[in-house]
Structure 1
Amino acid sequence: MELNLAPQMPDQTVSEGEGGGYYTWSISAVPFLGQAKLAAGKLVLQPLGFALPHYADFKKIGFVLQGSCVVGMISPNSTTENVVKVTKGDAIPVELGAVTWWYNDGDSDVIVVFLGETTDSNPLGPSNYYFLAGALGMLGGFSADFLAGGFGISVSESKTLFKTQNATVITKLKEKLNITNPPNNNRKDLVFNLENALPPVNANNGGSLVSATAENFPLLSRVNLSGNLVKLEPGSMLTPGYTADSSYELGYVASGSARIQIVGLNGQMVLDDKVAAGRLFVLPKFFVGSLIADTEGIEFVSTVTSAEPKLRRLAGVESVWKALSPSILQASLNLSTEETEIFKAKIVETAAIIPSNNN
């Protein structure tokens, strides 16, 4: 089977209207998403746009790429609604089955990209949303007598209660909701800001890499995912790396572009392409990937399908080559003693992000 990893734009419009839109990547356009049990979606909320309450059959991380909005969330093991304000740079995990709603209370558009994993999704589709209200509302599918009995209302009331909201996914409100200043209860437990976090990898004139894992953001242990924000300056390189724990990395380019290469089984290159703003890319488990930023640089977010991922670089101070003894290194690469010593020294000097020679 041919492995197609070409970066792709979203190809499905789930909903689009005055309040905003929701767009996804189908497995017909990106077959590898189905093979790896991954999913991605892009939410655009216009001012006063309101994404109706819903839950989903896959777990994910929402990355706020533009603007700010209010999010309501009820976790699967709770009956309490948490309401938080999220803004650019925030990552908010959404548990399997959690009920959420999203509301743009500002004056400019909001963009949120969801990157997740579909192991537990309904076999009827790779990823599915279940709405509590609106034309697609789950309760609207029940007969009036069932609703009357379940909610303690009359049959006539039940005929209209779940039929007055005609929107499907997103609606535009006529006026602002009375939650302009949400309580932000438990924000520190629900949201991780990747923009303000101290980057563990920060190369002068090269870029930075910030990660949210279960170690620094415990909620991720409940979704078994982790998130990254990578920024590369023009011409800088993210050195070759792979996941050593059978996890996948699913990335979305927020801005800029880069040349991306991925090498798979038997040392065969499976991708040598350009990845640009708005496109999705996947690094298969155990495959090695690397990027070199174009003239405008690149910024991307990614989800890794592990809460405590084991990411390995093949170059830099954490490289496996550095750990090998000189004699093994010399024998493996068929080098002279002098060449081995030079290579060892170069590895120590190399970081995960290498600035351009022009910087």
Structure 2
Amino acid sequence: MKFEVASNMMLQHLQLIARVIASRSTLPILESVLFELEGDKLRLTAADMANRMSTELTVNNIGGENGTFAVPERILLEPLKELPDQPIAFEVNTDSKAAQIAYSNGHYTFVVQDASTYPQAAALSQDAITSVLPAESLMSGLSATLFATSQDERRPIMTGVYMDFFEDKLVFVGSDGQILVKQEDANVRSSQRSAFCLPRKACLLLRSVLPKLEGNVQLTYDNNYLHIELGDYTLTARLLEGRYPNYNSVIPTSNPYEVKVDRLQLLSGAKRVAIFSNPATSMLRMEFTPDGIRLSANDIDFSVAAEEHVAADCPADMNMRIGFKSDVFQTILQGMSSDEVIITLADQTRAGLILPAENEPGISLCNLLLPMKLIGE
């Protein structure tokens, strides 16, 4: 079996799908990339125990012979990174497992593995649901919510992004119990009510491919797996099991105080002041008065403190102090595109909402953040 392909094209496709491969796997074959050659089409597949990503590219099948084999990812990627863009020729003897990659002024040899031991793709059930949505909408929803997901594996369902399909909208939700982000997209419609929770790794894989796409992507899913078509790429991911909490029940609907403030001014001020916060708590204190917002932080252990005033449109009867975790607060502001944000509050013990003053057409974004306890108050 012999075929030629451009080295840069091969490298680009390999780099994307190789992100699926786990650093340590209970199945050694999953440390390899599966090659499937049929005519002038070469299909590359990488997988772990929960995800499988494939891509297809056009090659020059010199001998006209078809075949399959697997190659350890490290043998392929590192040499290809050092090659300038040029045609390279793969020659593989599937009987002896000997292989060679030849390029303009050299070659290297290695041994391939039997492809028959590579796990098969998971099959979806007959009652699987299909949804079509713009690649831009999927990218926007994942980017807005992924940072809020939990890192605690003891509650697996909270480690992924929940996608809730309604007839008139698609809702993305990410939460770790302290922060909750919900983005509603009325530009996406669904023929039937459905929902699933997509694991963090699958979300990251999608975010690496979606910026390269235009138009729509097709999602097919059942209770266990999601299969998504991404142009030249396909991803199959095992969905998280369990029941996602009722996210709407924790979002306050009647916070009496509403503050409008310039997002970038508040963000830059929070960044400066937070440098002086205690690393153990990372608390940013915010005092709201009719004159604006006073940001403050201190670290008693090192006798350092900072304070800064930010102009804001606060209610005339507002006088409240509240504490937020500074790094999470900054991440929320950084992920928003609106020039101004609206902060709604009830008191220093209840969750606050951080909302964009202006949303993209059809988009509604809500960030919920639980406050930190202010010592002595």
- Normalising by the smaller structure, the TM-score range is under 0.3
Larger helix fraction of residues: 2
Calculate the TM-score normalised by the size of structure 2. 0.24
TM-score by length of 1: 0.25
Larger Rg, first or second structure (1 or 2):
2
User: Bigger relative contact order, structure 1 or 2, given CA contacts below 8 A and separation 6+?
Assistant: 1
